[in-house]
Amino acid sequence: MEYTTLGDTGMSVSRIGLGTMNFGWEAEGWRLDGEQSREIIERAIDLGVTFFDTANVYRSGQSEEVLGDVLADYARDRFVVATKVHGSMDEDNPNARGLSRKAIEQELENSLERLGMETIDLYQIHRWDDDTPIRETLATLDDAGRRGQVRYIGASSMWAYQFATALHTSDRFGLERFVSMQNHYNPVYREEEREMLPLCQQEGVGVIPWSPLARGYVTRPHEAFASTDRGSEESESRPDRHATYRAGGGETINRRIEEIADEHGVSMAQIAIAWHLHTEPVTAPIIGVSSIEHLEEAVAAVDVDLTDDDLAYLNEPYEAAPVNGHG
């Protein structure tokens, strides 16, 4: 495993972050049960992964519970645990969603309890909240830091002007600053390169892409996307996502990933992960896995060397695609 620091902070993270959106107690379709989740987390730790991403809304809190349950068997200070707030945890309660002081303080307590931890290393706002002034959100997160409940704060998908406003608000009022951006970015969806990534680079903000493998689309040949449980569910229930990847030149890029994988004698997933690791300013992609084999391949991808020609060949077919992932 390789390690780096998260943006301008001094906090070390593994270059492979493990996403836990599909972890929970009971299996549901492509989502894993407690035993499968535990096996993957334990194997990730064996392989040197130190960076774990969850959210209050993942599997309605089960993801945080399972992650906390496994990490409780280890020394807490070895790991960087990231979670998120914004999504609704109770459709009947308007204060169980969003980024108001009331919602954040309640949800933070709930996340800490589910994780069984006293402090969250990276507390991220999952989206922008149009109903709450960003100064209220930042003041609340700043207070949580002073109470020792949160070490660093981060943000996830939003427009670059909103993120710039948040950074400016922190600077203006002397509040904690977001140190990371978790955004939708992968070889077939690169709209973030227009505004958000240059902003992050300029501001020393770490970049930790979500769905870095385009939800599995770049891990197997184009025609085979629906061949897994997740792929078939995504194809049926969310064809818009697949359409976004196709609009970005996805089919050609998918075939080129396969060609380069054959040349290097590795899997398509490994080429896609290596693409992230060779692309500035990515700190660590947050990879989703549904098996131990996926995880082992992800970690081994740290050793895949792509040439400038490989990268140019992968990047050349990309075309502008509709923005996806802010909502």
Ligand X SMILES: NC(=O)c1ccc[n+]([C@@H]2O[C@H](COP(=O)([O-])OP(=O)(O)OC[C@H]3O[C@@H](n4cnc5c(N)ncnc54)[C@H](OP(=O)(O)O)[C@@H]3O)[C@@H](O)[C@H]2O)c1
Q: Which is nearer to ligand X, 19 or 250 (CB)?
A: 19
- Selected from 267, 279, 283, 324, the binder of ligand X by CB under 6 A is 267
Cβ atoms of 73 and 38 closer than 8 Å? no
Q: If binding is defined by CB under 6 A, does position 197 make contact with ligand X?
A: no
Q: Which is nearer to ligand X, 53 or 176 (CB)?
A: 53
The residue from 3, 58, 161, 189 that is catalytic is 58
The residues, any chain, with a CB within 8 Å of residue 17's CB and separated by 6 or more, are: 49, 51, 52, 53, 82, 208, 284, 285, 286, 287
Q: Which is nearer to ligand X, 143 or 235 (CB)?
A: 235
CB of 67 to ligand X, least distance (A): 10
CB of 213 to ligand X, least distance (A): 3
**Residue 213 neighbours by CB distance under 10 Å:** 25
Stretch in the footprint of ligand X (CB under 6 A) among 145-153, 190-198, 207-215, 250-258? 207-215
To the query of whether residue 189 is one of the catalytic residues in this protein, the response is no
Q: If binding is defined by CB under 6 A, does position 154 make contact with ligand X?
A: no
Q: If binding is defined by CB under 6 A, does position 288 make contact with ligand X?
A: yes
| Contacts with ligand X, 217-236, as mask; x by CB under 6 A | --x--------x-xx-----
Beta partners for 52? 18, 81
Stretch in the footprint of ligand X (CB under 6 A) among 43-51, 139-147, 290-298, 316-324? 290-298
Strand order in the sheet with 80-85: 206-207, 178-182, 150-156, 120-125, 80-85, 51-53, 17-19, 286-287
Stretch in the footprint of ligand X (CB under 6 A) among 89-97, 253-261, 286-294, 311-319? 286-294
CA pair distance 37, 63, nearest whole angstrom = 9
Between the two ends of the chain, the Cα-to-Cα distance in Å is 33
Catalytic machinery residues: 58
